Amino acid sequence: MKKKTKIGIIICDRYRSCAGGKCFRSLKNREGAFDIYPEDEEVEVVGYTSCGGCPGGNIEYAPEEMKKNGAEVIHFATGFVVGYPPCPYIDHFKRFIEENYGLQVVVGTHPIPQKYYLVHQKLGTWKTKEWKEFIRPALADEKTRLAYD
């Protein structure tokens, strides 16, 4: 029997009108933070919502609904790390969901687009050990980043 993983995706509220095209394309292609799922593993999205806006009011409730729908993993959309400024609450959100709901949280969905990568490199946004860890799942190689510009 083929393994199936159910996931929820939470996006930064500043992108609340995003239709999720890059997230769903990268999930299908197993790129960016979705490369953790083998090609032969079925991945079902059981929830897709925004954080609710700073300071993330929806973070308290949305994961509970996603868990009731079978979610085992919550992905924070790549917008949390590429927007400027990147989400200042991301560590709090991650720890809250993991502790309160017992769900794994992955920072990232689609690969970081190259244009955002270059800007953040110039600004030094991701120089700390903590930020390097946050962006790692969605970093990808330059060719893949360019495909998501």
Q: What is the pTM of this model?
A: 0.95
**DSSP secondary structure of 69-118:** TT--EEEE-THHHHSSSPPTTHHHHHHHHHHHH--EEEE-SSPPPHHHHH
Domain boundaries, the chain: 4-147
Contact between 35 and 75 (Cβ < 8 Å): no
The H or E element spanning position 48 is strand 42-50
Q: Provide the 8-state DSSP code for 56.
A: T
Q: Does domain 4-147 fall into CATH 3.40.630?
A: no
Task: Supply 10's token pair.
Answer: 């939470």
Q: How do residues 50-109 score in pLDDT, each as one tens digit?
A: 999 999 999 999 999 999 999 999 999 999 999 999 999 999 999 999 999 999 999 999
